[in-house]
Amino acid sequence: MSFISTHLTHLPFHATHLQVLSVFVLIIGGLYFYAGEYFAMEITALILLCSLLFLFVVFPTLVSEAYSLPATELLLGFSSPALLTVLSLLVIGEALASTGALGIVSRYLSRLSSFNLSLLLLLLAAMLLSAFLNNIPVVVLFIPVLRALLERKRRDSRWPMMGMSFASVLGGMTTLIGSSTNLLVAGSLVAMERETLGFFTVTFPGLYLAFFGMLYILFVMPRLLRSPRYSWGRRKLDSALQGKRFVAQFIITGDSPFVGKVASVALFSSIERATVVLVQRGEMSFTPPDLSFDLRAGDILLISASRKRIDELVETEEQGLLPPQLSGENSSSHSGGAPEETILAEFFIPPQSSFVGRTLQGIRFRFRYHCVVLGLERGTRRMLRNLTSTRLRAGDIALVQGRASDIQALGQQRDLVAVEHSIHKLPDAERASKAVGIFILCILASATGIAPIAFCAISGATAMLALGVLTLEDAVRALDRKIVLVIASAFALAAALQVTGGDKILAQCFIFLTHFIASPPFILSCFFLFVALLSNIISTKAAAVLFTPIAVAIADSLEVSHIPFAIAVLFASNCAFATPIGYQTNLLVMNAGQYRFVDFVRAGLPLIIVCWLCFSVLCYAYFFV
């Protein structure tokens, strides 16, 4: 009881002020809208920023003048060294990926004959590379490699895709630059003028968590995602044996035998090894079996078939079905000489692509790139509209037709990633060597303490641009506006919590709830689990910035070092395994591996428990010995 009364008596008396309560309301509202995705994350972040400016700058007298927080401090997140470091590392990662410097790893793995060995090395490579690079480009690089490996060996992709995402997250926990979340925790400590984390501060405990996490991924996850009651797994395996299923668009020509006949499932069954999923006439769409009208020339059929079958339909124009045509002269070369070869190729849409959320018609794809998208592959989700009006998603695979030179040029675009073995893309050895050299210098300078991480990252990104490794356009495209706005709003909320004393209130309430065992290791363990579960609902970066001051306040209340509590926030914020929205790599492999939301809960929640139990051991045996 003395422990409870001691902390209750120290609760700030200004806890009833409307200004403090307003900050709590904004935090709860922000979490609600982040989790529900009622608005885009950028819009929610901007609403939070505007609300804080209104509360503390524009009309502070409406609630209370007890606390002052100028606009410069609320907007300090936009100039935070942690944010600038994160954005610079994204540029460096883009340079390594675009020059083919990382392709050496993928090419080596694709040559191995043993599937199990290839898969093990691929997961370990993803984990190790993610210790020094942002894990998003790492996962983008390995998805086509893993997809080709699975199809070549005729294996089910139920667990390897998700396992690769989880392995990259675990690897990102092992160094300070392994994840933007790590840098934000360190940056928050600097902003609070407290002792911060070094480059290798989290390496030992991070490797400890990664070791047991990898054991779970390799030996437990395959069993969890192979439950017999999931008939989806069987369908996926059958689909893999037949090749990816694309949805392609064909126009019924005037000499087609379908013209004048009543549309029906029986009629369309004459198209062998293919399924008609939609008939479109103008603005009207009809799906089988709701078909009872005469077909006309110009009607559009959306056909689901394998890549091989679509190739046949394009070449033979079987049943009078005509694919979309290239713009301009289809058979002439650019120079007016001999006709240039027309080829098909597959392209993967990464999450940072500017195509995401847009339609082919809106992009003006055919006219900008002189190529035409014949089909899209989107896992188990059916597309029930014209391809040109379908909004593209991260993870989609586009089957593209074009001249060899245009396809080769398209393969150099950062908005698309060529699927392995689809087209041959030679890496630029000179630019790749420069990118690797700059990256190694940045790592060595930061790890040895010669220069701060922020200086190394910004200098490295600048060197990539100055030496021509990366164009300014590609560098800007590598930046993620979600990261900028979510981090800036999280810094503003953290500043508001600190100035109003809200962080101390939350810290003492948390201590009160865990008072029955007044032990710092126990409280630290409970705090880790709380943040880990919440990071699956909100942005991991927002969780890192928001809970760092609370962690420091808890440590101060217990009169212990704040470093273990900061490390707890760092690890827990990264443990966004149980939902596809928790981590961007999860969302990426959700399409590539054809997962459902429940699959992440099924496989990710136990991994959170594994990390929590391992961290709890650290609490008693490492942090407080």
Helix (H) or strand (E) holding 577: none
Rounded-to-5 percentages of helix, strand, coil across the chain: 60, 10, 30
**DSSP annotation of 248:** E
Q: Pick from 425, 352, 423: which is nearest to 137 by CA?
A: 352
Q: Pick from 375, 374, 362, 367: which is nearest to 328 by CA?
A: 367
Helix (H) or strand (E) holding 509: helix 502-513
Task: Give yes or no for residue 614 having a pLDDT over 90.
Answer: yes
Residue with tokens 């410097």: 101
Q: What value does the mean pLDDT take over residues 403-427?
A: 70
pLDDT > 70: what percent of the chain? Answer: 80
The answer to whether the CB of 299 falls within 8 A of the CB of 281 is yes
Task: Give yes or no for residue 209 having a pLDDT over 80.
Answer: yes
Query: HSE (CB half, 13 Å, CA atoms) of 531?
Result: 35
Q: What value does the mean pLDDT take over residues 402-419?
A: 80
Q: Pick from 325, 479, 354: which is nearest to 413 by CA?
A: 354
> What's the CATH architecture for 342-418?
2-Layer Sandwich (3.30)
pTM of the model: 0.62
> What is residue 434's three-state secondary structure?
helix
Q: Pick from 100, 96, 14, 113: which is nearest to 501 by CA?
A: 14
Q: Pick from 181, 174, 173, 144: which is nearest to 161 by CA?
A: 144
CA distance 422 to 424: 7
Q: Pick from 197, 118, 90: which is nearest to 477 by CA?
A: 90
Helix (H) or strand (E) holding 286: strand 284-286
CA distance 179 to 169: 8
Q: What value does the mean pLDDT take over residues 466-470?
A: 87
Task: Give yes or no for residue 598 having a pLDDT over 70.
Answer: yes
Task: Give yes or no for residue 253 having a pLDDT over 60.
Answer: yes
The answer to whether the CB of 4 falls within 8 A of the CB of 515 is yes
What are the pLDDT digits (tens) for 305-357?
877 778 778 767 788 888 877 654 444 444 444 345 567 788 888 877 889 88
pLDDT > 90: what percent of the chain? Answer: 14
The answer to whether the CB of 365 falls within 8 A of the CB of 416 is no
Q: What is the pLDDT of residue 211?
A: 96
The answer to whether the CB of 347 falls within 8 A of the CB of 398 is yes
Instruction: Give a three-class secondary structure readout of 197-213.
Output: CCCCCCHHHHHHHHHHH
What are the pLDDT digits (tens) for 276-310?
888 888 767 777 766 778 888 888 888 888 777 78
Task: Give yes or no for residue 410 having a pLDDT over 60.
Answer: yes
What are the pLDDT digits (tens) for 119-138?
898 899 889 988 887 777 77
Residues 6 or more apart whose Cβ sits within 8 Å of residue 103: 141, 427
What are the pLDDT digits (tens) for 366-389?
888 888 888 888 765 556 567 778
Give counts: helices (H), strands (E), the chain.
28, 9
Q: At 250, give phi and psi (nearest 5°).
A: -135, 145
> What's the CATH architecture for 243-322?
2-Layer Sandwich (3.30)
Average pLDDT of the chain, as a whole number: 78
> Which residues on adjacent β-strands are paired with residue 418?
347
Q: What is the pLDDT of residue 339?
A: 42
Helix (H) or strand (E) holding 570: helix 563-574
Task: Give yes or no for residue 358 having a pLDDT over 70.
Answer: yes
Instruction: Look at 152 and 189; give whichever has higher pLDDT.
Output: 189
Residues 6 or more apart whose Cβ sits within 8 Å of residue 313: 248, 250, 271, 274, 303, 305, 321, 323
Query: HSE (CB half, 13 Å, CA atoms) of 396?
Result: 27
Instruction: Take residue 124 and report the two structure tokens written for it.
Output: 């370990």
Task: Give yes or no for residue 396 having a pLDDT over 80.
Answer: yes
CA distance 38 to 452: 39
CA distance 323 to 375: 10
Q: What is the pLDDT of residue 404?
A: 75
Task: Give yes or no for residue 212 having a pLDDT over 90.
Answer: yes
Residue length of the chain: 625
What are the pLDDT digits (tens) for 220-244?
999 888 643 333 334 443 444 345 6
Residue with tokens 């369908």: 235
Cis omega (within 30 of 0) on the bond before 228? no
Residue with tokens 């043993």: 114
Q: Range(s) for CATH 3.30.70.1450 in the chain?
A: 243-322, 342-418
The answer to whether the CB of 37 falls within 8 A of the CB of 83 is no
Crossing angle between the packed helical segments 135-153 and 584-592, to the nearest 10 degrees: 20
CA distance 567 to 560: 14
Q: Pick from 355, 286, 276: which is nearest to 309 by CA?
A: 276
CA distance 581 to 600: 10
The answer to whether the CB of 351 falls within 8 A of the CB of 396 is no
